[in-house]
Structure 1
Amino acid sequence: MMKEYLFNLIKKHQYNISIYTEDIFERRCQEEIIRSDEDKSSFVYVEFDFETIDNTLGNKANSQQFWNVFIETLSQNKRGNDILGFLEHESGIGLLLLDSKLDGWTRLAGRFSRNASKHNFDIINLVLEKTVKPIVYPSCIQDIQAQQAQKQEQ
């Protein structure tokens, strides 16, 4: 149901946004890991889980407003190389900010907040601060390797 809502929203406002199917999005994520390893670059991966957002915001009207602000903000600030796709079982939306680090996500989150304020929807910050956890690749791998090395030393 959320998939249809998002597609209708994009169509209604004629936003220039594409959302990959879960299969294609998963493949793009894998390709980006390979590309980042080869180019020694980084990217940010962020998940927006539909159910978690619904639970955080408390009702359907707030959830729909979240997605309105989300899609509108992305359409205004989207870089051509960022990738949006459905997560497994269409349980949410994944976002890849290519050639980016945590500051890229911080800037985009700020844009979400500013746009939400224009719509008197400051509760978007509940989602951005409490439920959305950006992952920076390859830093996340280096962090895991450092933790494993630390455990071995002990």
Structure 2
Amino acid sequence: MMKEELFNLIKKHQYNISIYTEDIFERRCQEEIIRSDEDKSSFVYIEFDFESINATLGNESNSQQFWNIFMETLSQNKRGSDILGFLEHESGIGLLLLDSKLNGWNRLVGRFIRTASKHDFEIMKLVLDKIVKPIVYPACIQDIQAQEVAKQAQ
């Protein structure tokens, strides 16, 4: 259902946005991990889970407004290298910010909030702060390794 709504938004506003299918998006994530390891670069992975976001927003009207602002912001600020795709079982949207770190995500959050402010939709910040958690690769792997070393030292 959300898939059709998002495609309708893209078509209605003629946004230049492509959303990969879940299997192609998963493959692109795997390729990016390999590329990042080889190039010693980093990227940010973000999930926008439909159910969690809709539950926080509380109603259909807020949900439509959220996704309108989401698509409007991405269409105006998306870099050519950023990748958008459906998560497993089309449960949400994933976003890869290539060659980026947390500051890249923070800039995008600022743009989401500015666009939301123009539409008097202040709840956008709550959703982005409460529901959406960016993961920076390879820092997330290094954090896990550091935790494992700390456990072994105890």
TM range (shorter): over 0.9
* Structure 2 counterpart SS, 1:81: coil
Superposed CA offset, 1:129-148 (max 9, x none): 00000000000000000000
Correspondences of 1:1-150 after superposition (within 5 Å): 1-150=1-150
How big is the shift at 1:20?
0.2
Partners of 1:76 and 1:119 lie apart in 2 by: 15
Partners of 2:25 and 2:130 lie apart in 1 by: 24
Partners of 2:126 and 2:61 lie apart in 1 by: 15
How big is the shift at 1:105?
0.2
Structure 2 residue identity aligned to 1:84 = L
Partners of 1:130 and 1:124 lie apart in 2 by: 10
Unaligned 5+ segments in structure 1 are none
Partners of 2:22 and 2:139 lie apart in 1 by: 24
How high is the TM-score relative to the length of structure 1?
A: 1.00
Q: CA RMSD in A?
A: 0.3
How high is the TM-score relative to the length of structure 2?
A: 1.00
How many correspondences in the alignment? 154
Structure 2 residue identity aligned to 1:134 = P
Partners of 2:81 and 2:146 lie apart in 1 by: 30
Query: Alignment identity in percent?
Result: 83
Structure 2 residue identity aligned to 1:131 = I
How big is the shift at 1:27?
0.2
* Structure 2 counterpart SS, 1:79: coil
How big is the shift at 1:29?
0.1
